[in-house]
C-alpha cells in the first residue's frame, strides 16, 4: 500500500508526482525523515495530522529548495538573511512573519501569522523540492508521541499503510531535529535546540532569548491573530438570531450566515477548512452586524480531537490574553 521508492531518478519522479497530487511521502532530510505534503494544499496538510494522529494542530516547518524561495513566503529581516547565508542549506529553521498572499496553507502554520521555514541540506530532499516545485510541509515522519525516524525502515514501521510512499535515502546524518529560531519579535529566540548549536547561532545573532521570555513565542501557542474577534460558543444545538454558524455535517436550521467545515461530516476535510473558515465567518458576521459565532459539535474521531482543541482555545480567549500550550 505504501510505495517503497529508491533514491534514483524514477523514485524521485514518482515521489514528486504523488506529492503534486496531494499525497503524503516520507523523505530523508539531514536531520530526520520528514512526512512531506504540498504545503500549499490545505487538504494534504490536514492529511499529515491525520496520518500522524496528532491530537493538536501544531505549526509545521515548510521546506524550500533555496533561500530565495523561502523568503518569497515570509518577510526576511537582515538577520534572517545573515543566518540563511551562514547555515542554509542546513538544520536551522527560521520563524518569520508570513508575507501578504503567502500561498502556504493556513493549517501548515496552525493559523499563526508566522511561518517556520527551512532549506534542508540533504541532496535527495533538495532534488525532491526542485522536482515538486512547491514547498513541502514536513514534520518528523512518525506517529505522534513516537521517536523521530532516522531511516526509511523507521518510517515504514510507524506510518506504513497510512502514507502514499517512502523515499529511501539511507540513514540521516544529523539525527536530531533542526534548531528553531524565532525572528518575529524584537529579540531572536531559540525555540528548539537542534542540529546547529546555540553557540554557532549566537556567533551570528548575538545572545538568543529563551522561549519563556515571551509567551507569544511558545511553540504551539494559539495566537490572537487567528482567534476570532467575536465570541465563539461551542457545541451549539440551536442558533440564535445574532449568531453566525460554523457548521459540521447538516447545518442547524435557521442560520443566516454559515460556513460549513464539511457538509459530508469528514473531520480531515473539516481540519483543512478550519482556519480559513474561522477567518471568513468572523469577518462576514461582523460585516452583517452579528454578535457571535456558534460552532456545531464536531465528533472527536480522527482530526476531530485537534479541531475541538483549537475551537476550545479560540472560545476561551479573553480580550488581551492568550493561552499557551505545546505539543511534541
Ligand atoms: P516538527 O515539525 O515536529 O519538526 O516541529 C516543528 C517545530 O517548529 C515545533 O517545535 C514547532 O512548535 C515549531 N514551529 C513551527 N512553526 C512555528 C511558528 N510559526 N511559530 C513558532 N514555532 C513554530
Ligand atoms: Mg516530531
The domain spans of the chain are 3-205, 232-315
Ligand 1 pocket, residue 114 CB under 6 Å: yes
CA angle centred on 176, ends 169 and 83, rounded to 5°: 100
What would the mean pLDDT of 43-64 be, rounded to a whole number? 95
Q: Which residues contact 100 (CB under 8 A, 6 or more apart)?
A: none
Q: Hey, is 167 helix, strand or coil?
A: strand
The C-alpha cell at 133 is 516545485
Give yes or no for a contact between 31 and 177, defined as CB atoms under 8 angstroms apart.
yes
pLDDT of residue 218 exceeding 50, the answer is no
Ligand 1 pocket, residue 116 CB under 6 Å: yes
Stretch (H or E) spanning 59: none
Give yes or no for a contact between 117 and 70, defined as CB atoms under 8 angstroms apart.
yes
Give yes or no for a contact between 35 and 24, defined as CB atoms under 8 angstroms apart.
yes
State yes or no: cis peptide before 89, omega within 30 of 0. yes
**Across all residues in the chain, what is the average pLDDT?**
90
Q: Which residues contact 225 (CB under 8 A, 6 or more apart)?
A: 111, 112, 113
Atom of ligand 1 nearest to the CA of 115: 19
Say which ligand is closest to the CA of 63: 1
Distances (CA, A) of 123 to 30, 37, 142: 9, 18, 22
Nearest CA to ligand 1 atom 15: 59
Residues around the ion ligand 2 (C-beta < 5 A):
140
Give Cα 43 distance to the centre of its chain: 12
Regarding beta strands 292-295 and 243-247, do their DSSP bridges make them parallel or antiparallel, or are they unpaired?
A: parallel
Give yes or no for a contact between 26 and 155, defined as CB atoms under 8 angstroms apart.
yes
Mutate to test the pocket of ligand 1, among 63, 136, 192, 210 (most ligand atoms within 8 A of CB): 192
CA angle centred on 80, ends 198 and 106, rounded to 5°: 100
Ligand 1 pocket, residue 109 CB under 6 Å: yes
How remote is the CA of residue 146 from the centroid of ligand 2, in Å?
8
Nearest CA to ligand 1 atom 21: 219
* Intrachain domains 3-205 and 232-315 with the same fold: no
Ligand 1 pocket, residue 179 CB under 6 Å: no
Nearest CA to ligand 1 atom 12: 219
> Counting beta carbons within 10 angstroms of the beta carbon of residue 254, is it exposed (0 to 12), middle (13 to 18) or buried (19 or more)?
exposed
What would the mean pLDDT of 294-309 be, rounded to a whole number? 92
C-alpha to C-alpha distance for 296 and 234, rounded to whole angstroms: 7
Atom of ligand 1 nearest to the CA of 112: 19
How remote is the CA of residue 271 from the centroid of ligand 2, in Å?
20
What pLDDT score was predicted for residue 318? 46
Ligand 1 pocket, residue 60 CB under 6 Å: yes
C-alpha to C-alpha distance for 313 and 38, rounded to whole angstroms: 27
C-alpha to C-alpha distance for 33 and 44, rounded to whole angstroms: 18
Share of the chain above pLDDT 70, in %: 91
| pLDDT tens figures, 89-142 | 999 999 999 999 999 999 999 999 999 999 999 999 999 999 999 999 999 999
232-315: what fold? Answer: Rossmann fold (3.40.50)
Give Cα 42 distance to the centre of its chain: 10
Nearest CA to ligand 1 atom 22: 219
Atom of ligand 1 nearest to the CA of 192: 10
CATH for 3-205?
3.90.870.10
Higher pLDDT, 80 or 310: 80
Any idea how long the chain is?
A: 328
Atom of ligand 1 nearest to the CA of 138: 2
Ligand 1 pocket, residue 269 CB under 6 Å: no
What pLDDT score was predicted for residue 227? 67
| pLDDT tens figures, 224-251 | 445 678 999 999 999 999 999 999 999 9
Which residues face 95 on adjacent strands?
A: 116, 182
C-alpha to C-alpha distance for 149 and 143, rounded to whole angstroms: 10
Say which ligand is closest to the CA of 327: 1
What pLDDT score was predicted for residue 226? 54
CA angle centred on 188, ends 184 and 189, rounded to 5°: 100
pLDDT of residue 156 exceeding 70, the answer is yes
Give yes or no for a contact between 83 and 182, defined as CB atoms under 8 angstroms apart.
no
Say which ligand is closest to the CA of 148: 2
Ligand 1 pocket, residue 74 CB under 6 Å: no
Q: What is the DSSP letter of 252?
A: P
What pLDDT score was predicted for residue 222? 41
Band (pLDDT 50/70/90 cuts) for residue 324 is: very low
Atom of ligand 1 nearest to the CA of 326: 12
Amino acid at each position: 500500500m505504501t510505495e517503497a521508492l529508491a533514491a534514483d531518478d524514477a523514485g524521485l519522479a514518482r515521489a514528486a508526482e504523488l506529492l503534486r497530487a496531494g499525497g503524503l511521502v516520507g523523505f530523508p532530510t539531514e536531520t530526520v525523515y520528514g512526512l512531506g505534503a504540498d504545503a500549499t494544499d490545505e487538504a494534504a496538510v490536514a492529511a499529515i495530522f491525520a496520518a500522524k494522529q496528532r491530537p493538536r494542530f501544531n505549526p509545521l516547518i515548510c521546506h524550500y529548495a533555496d533561500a530565495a524561495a523561502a523568503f518569497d513566503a515570509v518577510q526576511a529581516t537582515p538577520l534572517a538573511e545573515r543566518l540563511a547565508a551562514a547555515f542554509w542549506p542546513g538544520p536551522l529553521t527560521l520563524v518569520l512573519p508570513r508575507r501578504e498572499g503567502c500561498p502556504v496553507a493556513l493549517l501548515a502554520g496552525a493559523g499563526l501569522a508566522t511561518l517556520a521555514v527551512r532549506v534542508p541540506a540533504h541532496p535527495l530532499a533538495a532534488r525532491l523540492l526542485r522536482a515538486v516545485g512547491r514547498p513541502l510541509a514536513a514534520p518528523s515522519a512518525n506517529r505522534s508521541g513516537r521517536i523521530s525516524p532516522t531511516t526509511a525502515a523507521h518510517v515504514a514501521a510507524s506510518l506504513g499503510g497510512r502514507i502514499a510512499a517512502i523515499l529511501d535515502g539511507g540513514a540521516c546524518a544529523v539525527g536530531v531535529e533542526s534548531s528553531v529560531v524565532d525572528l518575529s519579535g524584537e529579540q531572536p529566540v531559540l525555540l528548539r535546540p537542534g542540529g546547529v548549536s546555540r553557540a554557532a547561532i549566537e556567533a551570528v545573532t548575538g545572545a538568543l532569548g529563551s522561549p519563556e521570555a515571551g509567551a507569544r513565542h511558545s511553540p504551539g501557542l494559539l495566537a490572537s491573530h487567528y482567534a476570532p474577534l467575536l465570541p465563539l460558543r461551542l457545541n451549539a444545538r440551536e442558533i440564535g438570531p445574532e449568531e453566525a454558524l460554523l457548521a459540521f455535517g447538516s447545518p442547524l436550521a435557521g442560520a443566516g450566515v454559515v460556513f460549513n467545515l464539511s457538509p459530508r461530516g469528514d473531520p480531515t476535510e473539516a481540519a483543512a477548512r478550519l482556519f480559513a473558515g474561522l477567518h471568513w465567518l468572523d469577518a462576514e458576521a461582523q460585516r452583517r452586524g452579528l454578535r457571535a459565532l456558534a460552532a456545531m459539535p464536531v465528533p472527536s474521531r480522527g482530526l476531530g480531537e485537534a479541531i475541538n482543541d483549537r475551537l476550545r482555545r479560540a472560545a476561551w480567549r479573553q480580550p488581551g490574553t492568550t493561552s499557551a500550550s505545546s505539543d511534541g
